[in-house]
Amino acid sequence: MFEITLYHYLVLSLILFAIGFIGIIISKNIIKVLICIEIVMSAINLNFIAFTAYKNYLFLSGMIFALFITAISAVQTAIGLVLIYQIYKNKEKITSEEIEELKG
């Protein structure tokens, strides 16, 4: 109970991944969807760092991977926000229902 093992971290990150992914699916607000993507990415970062820290892998590749993931997903969110702003100027409201105009 009082010993925090790798498995604890993996379970935590998996729970957060699930919460974030469900959030991506059910959220109506696009900004909320972007926040949920960030939560998912952070959960994956936790996974990488926990593996690196507990298993003492040689080149710290997991931590480096986590750095790259942080940078790239932050930039992606910025692009998403710019696109949302451009759409908003025409639409005045941003819900994912209204973006379903191009329905598959």
**CA 15 to chain CA mean position, Å:** 13
Distance between CA atoms of 87 and 103, rounded to whole angstroms? 17
CB of 55 to other proteins, least distance (A): 5
Tell me the closest approach of the beta carbon of residue 95 to other proteins, in angstroms: 8
Taking the complex as a whole, the smallest distance from the CB of residue 1 to other proteins amounts, in Å, to 7
* Residues between 5 and 24 that touch other proteins (CB under 8 A): 5-12, 14-24
Nearest distance, CB of residue 27 and other proteins, angstroms: 6
Residue 62 Ramachandran class (φ > 0 left, ψ -120 to 50 alpha, else beta): alpha
What residues from 56 to 95 belong to the interface with other proteins (CB under 8 A)?
A: 56-91, 93-94
Residue ranges in 22-51 that form contacts with other proteins under rule CB under 8 A: 22-42, 44-51
Alpha carbon separation from 33 to 12, 18, 28, 70, 79 (Å, rounded): 21, 14, 8, 17, 14
